[in-house]
Amino acid sequence: MTSGPTAQQPAAAPEPESLNAAERLARWQRAGGVVAPVLTAVLAFLAGGLVVLATGHSPIKVYAGIWNGTGLEWFYEVGSHRVGLPFSDATLWFPWDTASRSAENLQQTLLLTSTLILTGLAVAFAFRCGLFNIGGQGQYFVGAYFAIWIGSSFGELNSFVHITFALVAAALAGAAWAGIAGILKATVGAHEVITTIMLNWVAYYVGLYLFGQGGPLQNELQPFSPTSNAVVEGARLPVFWGDPVLQGLHVGLFVALAALVAFWIIINRTTLGYEVRAVGFNPEAARYGGISVARNYFLAMAIAGVFAGLAGAIDMLGWRFSIGFSDIQSSTIGFVGIAVALLGRNTALGVGLSALVFGALVNGTATRNIPVDAFEIPEQAGNLSLTIQALVLLFIGADIVILYLWARAGQKLRVGTSSPL
Amino acid sequence: MSDRPVVLELRGITKRFPGVLANDHIGFDLRAGEVHALLGENGAGKSTLMNVLYGLYHPDEGEILINGEPVRIHSPKEAIERGIGMVHQHFMLIPVMTVAENIVLAAEPRRAGVLLDYVSARKRVEDIASAFNFAIDPQALVENITVGQQQRVEILKALYRRADILILDEPTAVLTPQEAQELFGILRGLTREGMSIVFISHKLNEVLEIADRITVLRRGKKIETLPVAGATEEGLARLMVGRDVLLRVDKATPKPGDPLLEVEDVKVLDDRGLEAVRGVSLQVRAGEIVGIAGVDGNGQTELVEALTGLRSIQAGEFRVAGRRLTGSSTHRILESGIGHIPEDRQKRGLVLEFTLAENLAFHEFDRAPSSYFGWLRPGRLISRARRILQEFDVRGGGPQTPAKSLSGGNQQKVVVAREVANDPRVLIAAQPTRGLDVGAIEFVHRRLVEERDEGRAVLLVSLELDEIMSLSDRTLVMYEGEIVGEFGPDATEQELGVAMLGGTLDEEAVA
């Protein structure tokens, strides 16, 4: 009996040469997981270029301006420099100039990236449990409020203790806020999209009340400006790169990177992550297997809230230092987190990279970075920024189309490869 | 029969996919007015061959002849133009549209070039339906008609497009036995009108019933084409699988021990809040298989869900090895020694996106050595999975392969392996062989008997009477939420069948 080819392999065949068809397919799909988001981003920028072209300007000039504004060119400006070691007087040789113009731009990009990593993880973690957390913005607010309140009070505390206290309180506040939606989902089945949106508005109006004119947490020294008290010196996150006075890069970046690692470990290396993923993929099967679906809905939302709450805290303690009426009204960073998570495919590495893309995009398209001659009116640059962000979101829709086509191609493959018994 | 003209011929069709030869120089011919069955296990290459014919795949080698004329078919559209119609396993209908609208879709009769001429569309559908003796209401919405009727709509779609060759891909997989009989009636009517039918299946009894000729495929190769006269289930099974298959289960006499599963007067509600299980009591002893027979929807599903903690129990109680488990969580019940092979392996039994190692760890992941204090040990999961996959001869992937890329038979092996590896005292198997082919069915059956002989109590719930009769040491018949009869191993199909419909033999004699 001549048997079919590789499909006949016994179960475990570790050598790469003798991959069976199923493993080959799995590889393809994994490759698809990388290709599609990259294509998405590229297509979005191409379409953005067409928009610029349609307004009669040079997309190349504009994109060059954006690129320079992101500060990412810093990485290839290699030279020989002596730079100061952070938090000390020592200097040492370093191939990059840490004080150049592009270094300053890069600091701003990374400042945004840090926050976006956290708001992105807030969406991604819930997503892994099958929940669509639209409430990142509200959880960010709640975290920010607690960070401001604690950061502007307790001035007598030791700096390290003060910062830790503020971060932990903000994380717990975010967890509690998101946990409300989790509990409602777990107990009465209220849809998390609806409840998180409502909680966003509650957080928004609570902020306007707290820090607005006559609010309980309004600035004591300036009773006529609707803003909070400032975070005291000791509660501010240390700046390790750039000028602390001019929004240098603070250690919140490491909080965000640690959160990425924590996300990966929880999802892939803990029983909690196993349960969350099982519920996310197939709640019926999870229930059948004895996993409590309700408990995981709650925990996944609460953990998502921790990430978003931390995002609010590092913004407040890292560079904003106070929150005003208009800051609350104009804040959208929690929503950008949705785009970050979707483009990053809800994985740790993906969220990290897509947060960098979005951070660079938002910073690069800031009005000051677009060449003056590219637009008559500088504000157009900001509109372009929003346009490109919108296009990326749109193309994430296209991303799903690409995936669908990919899956269809995969299915055709599978018809042939599903192995005989 | 053999003097009829050949309407379709496939010569030396070869189709390769990366790493797999799906079709290896397959020859196939179809004569006017015959039903030619294409028989083979899952993955034998049946669907690939028909997708080549229907223009969905392009063959790497070989040619297609229609009425003796070589043709190239590049798309389903071209296939339809050449008179080939295909009814897929999953229907491609729009639920919110009427039967008539679905049938004329993409080939609508029009008024003034743009407007749908609904009146003449309905008229033409009615004409075709009556010409072929189909009972169907053209104005009904597709979402309101039964699955069997939806299948008829698919067939009518092909007829409306003037198909004279009809390909049916596993048409009975979604039908009840009664609906399958109706389908066979329709197919016979069609062949009388000169239609030629390719009938893809892996069910032996059906093929013997409806086909004129049978072509058996195995692992991408054509094994044999034979006339139905003289063919037997055993012979076909051997051709399909490549070895002798035990269609009957070989088992020793049971040696029942202590009762391990005791159910007392259990009452359970269904999703609509109606009482689906109305006071069921039963016992399963160590070392015996108790079968629950019954027509679908008589409370079997709810009973199994109640015994596994997935559905709450209104009244009564049940014990496993003397331990009362009424009202316990699924987690606790599984830990207390119940293994559960669920009736829907794709919906419940497996997380399709998980790897096999992860799926096999379903009852294990939160215990040492799979995890310590909440920390998962992926290496342990993988090595444990490798051992289990080998023991249960699961093919088509290793521990790191996602479950969704396995064939149905191998997926079910994974489920069975997991439940057995958990070393349960009571094994509840609900429809354990649904949708499986002969080789896999044989495996599952043999394994259930082995588990019985190991001293486990096995509760088998199945809609297949054959399965119940060949495996059970005792058979309980469930009807409208109650156990209406208990039978020994030598009960006849007739006795069970009558009880399943709520009667007794005496009553039938009176009627």
* Cβ-contact B321, B257 below 8 angstroms: no
Q: Are residues B326 and B355 in the same domain?
A: no
Total domain count for chain A? Answer: 1
pLDDT, one tens digit per residue, over B226-235 is: 999 988 888 8
Shortest alpha-carbon distance between residue B211 and chain A (Å):
24
Beta partners for B64? B10, B71
- A-B Cβ pairs (cutoff 8 Å, strict): 190
Residue B1 lies in a domain: no
Residues A421, B376: C-beta atoms closer than 8 Å: no
Question: One-letter amino acid identity for B132?
Answer: F
Name the residue with tokens 């009809």: B166
| Best mutation target, B13, B15, B17, B42, to test chain A (most A CBs within 10 A) | B17
| Domain residue limits at B380 | 349-423
Residue that finishes a domain, picked among B241, B260, B278: B241
CB nearest A417 (choices: B20, B374, B440): B20
pLDDT of residue A4 exceeding 80, the answer is: no
| DSSP per-residue codes, A33-51 | HHHHHHHHHHHHHHHHHHH
pLDDT, one tens digit per residue, over A162-206 is: 999 999 999 999 999 999 999 999 999 999 999 999 999 999 999
Residue B342 lies in a domain: no
Residue A312 lies in a domain: yes
> Which pLDDT score, from 0 to 100, does residue A416 have?
36
pLDDT, one tens digit per residue, over A251-299 is: 999 999 999 999 999 999 999 999 999 999 999 999 999 999 999 999 9
Shortest alpha-carbon distance between residue B20 and chain A (Å):
6
- Polymer length of chain A: 421
Shortest alpha-carbon distance between residue A25 and chain B (Å):
8
pLDDT band per the 50, 70, 90 thresholds, residue A1: very low
User: Could you tell me which of A218, A201, A73, A185 has the C-alpha nearest to residue A141?
Assistant: A201
| Domain residue limits at A125 | 57-409
Measured between beta carbons, which residues in chain B are less than 8 angstroms from residue A282? Answer: 347-348, 350-353
> Which pLDDT score, from 0 to 100, does residue A399 have?
61
φ, ψ for residue B187 (rounded to 5)? -65, -40
pLDDT of residue B3 exceeding 80, the answer is: no
> Which pLDDT score, from 0 to 100, does residue A15 have?
34
Residue B343 lies in a domain: no
CB nearest A418 (choices: B43, B333, B443): B43
Q: Are residues B78 and B190 in the same domain?
A: yes
| Best mutation target, B20, B350, B372, to test chain A (most A CBs within 10 A) | B20
Residues B401, A23: C-beta atoms closer than 8 Å: yes
Average pLDDT of the segment spanning B353-377 = 91
Three-state SS at B197: strand
Residue A379 lies in a domain: yes
Its sign, for the CA torsion B363, B366, B371, B377, is: positive
Residue A316 lies in a domain: yes
pLDDT band per the 50, 70, 90 thresholds, residue A402: low
> Which pLDDT score, from 0 to 100, does residue A30 have?
56
Total domain count for chain B? Answer: 3
Residue B32 lies in a domain: yes
Measured between beta carbons, which residues in chain A are less than 8 angstroms from residue B51? Answer: 415
Q: Are residues B477 and B494 in the same domain?
A: yes
Residue A330 lies in a domain: yes
> Which pLDDT score, from 0 to 100, does residue A378 have?
62
Parallel/antiparallel/unpaired status of strands B275-285 and B213-218: unpaired
Shortest alpha-carbon distance between residue A49 and chain B (Å):
37
User: Could you tell me which of B265, B197, B208 has the C-alpha nearest to residue B234?
Assistant: B208
Q: How far apart are CA A195 and CA A307, in angstroms?
A: 18
> Which pLDDT score, from 0 to 100, does residue A415 have?
39
Average pLDDT of the segment spanning A338-355 = 91
Q: Which residue has better confidence, A400 or A361?
A: A361
> Which pLDDT score, from 0 to 100, does residue B355 have?
93
Percent of chain A with pLDDT over 70: 81
Q: Are residues B12 and B57 in the same domain?
A: yes
Residues A12, B396: C-beta atoms closer than 8 Å: no
pLDDT, one tens digit per residue, over B51-96 is: 899 988 889 999 999 998 999 998 888 999 999 999 987 788 888 8
Q: Are residues B167 and B285 in the same domain?
A: no
Q: Are residues B331 and B428 in the same domain?
A: yes
Q: Are residues B155 and B56 in the same domain?
A: yes
- Residue A127: CATH number of its domain: 1.10.3470
pLDDT, one tens digit per residue, over A46-103 is: 888 888 888 777 888 878 888 888 888 888 888 888 887 888 888 888 888 888 888 8
Q: How far apart are CA A301 and CA B511, in angstroms?
A: 62
Taking only residues 68 to 87 of chain A, the set having a beta carbon closer than 8 angstroms to any beta carbon of chain B reads: none
> Which pLDDT score, from 0 to 100, does residue B176 have?
67
Average pLDDT of the segment spanning B450-470 = 91
pLDDT, one tens digit per residue, over B263-307 is: 999 999 988 888 999 999 999 999 999 999 987 778 999 999 999
pLDDT band per the 50, 70, 90 thresholds, residue A32: low
Residue A337 lies in a domain: yes
Q: Are residues B408 and B468 in the same domain?
A: no
| Cα A359 from chain centroid (whole Å) | 9
| pTM for the structure as a whole | 0.76
- Residue B81: CATH number of its domain: 3.40.50.300
pLDDT of residue A138 exceeding 90, the answer is: yes
SS (H, E, C) A299-364: HHHHHHHHHHHHHHHHHHHHHHCCCEHHHHHHCCHHHHHHHHHHHCCCCHHHHHHHHHHHHHHHHH
Weakest mean pLDDT among A8-17, A227-236, A393-402, B232-241: A8-17
Residue B150 lies in a domain: yes
Residue A40 lies in a domain: no
Name the residue with tokens 């002989």: B453
pLDDT, one tens digit per residue, over B314-338 is: 999 999 999 999 989 999 999 899 9
CB nearest B348 (choices: A21, A284, A421): A284
pLDDT of residue A29 exceeding 70, the answer is: no
Residues B330, A282: C-beta atoms closer than 8 Å: no
Q: Are residues B232 and B130 in the same domain?
A: yes
Residue that finishes a domain, picked among B423, B442, B460: B423
* Cβ-contact B412, B444 below 8 angstroms: yes
Name the residue with tokens 């009564």: B316
Residue that finishes a domain, picked among B388, B423, B458: B423
> Which pLDDT score, from 0 to 100, does residue B464 have?
79
Q: Are residues B109 and B213 in the same domain?
A: yes
pLDDT band per the 50, 70, 90 thresholds, residue A392: low
Q: How far apart are CA B285 and CA B252, in angstroms?
A: 16
Residues B396, A419: C-beta atoms closer than 8 Å: yes
Residue A367 lies in a domain: yes
**Whether residue A226 has a cis bond before it, omega within 30° of 0:** no
Residue A298 lies in a domain: yes
Q: Are residues B386 and B260 in the same domain?
A: no
Q: Name every residue whose Cβ is closer than 8 Å to that of residue A128 and which is 6 or more positions away in sequence.
A: A267, A273, A276, A277, A280, A300, A346
* Cβ-contact A304, A133 below 8 angstroms: yes
> Which pLDDT score, from 0 to 100, does residue A3 have?
39
Residues A289, B330: C-beta atoms closer than 8 Å: yes
C-beta contacts of A369-378 below 8 A and 24+ residues apart: A369/A65, A369/A66, A369/A68, A369/A69, A369/A70, A369/A105, A370/A62, A370/A65, A370/A66, A370/A69, A371/A61, A371/A62, A371/A64, A371/A65, A373/A61, A374/A57, A374/A58, A374/A61, A374/A62, A374/A65, A375/A57, A375/A62
Q: What is the mean pLDDT of chain A?
A: 83
Beta partners for B375? A270, B372
What is chain B's alpha carbon radius of gyration, rounded to the nearest angstrom? 25
Q: Are residues B312 and B400 in the same domain?
A: no
pLDDT of residue A328 exceeding 60, the answer is: yes
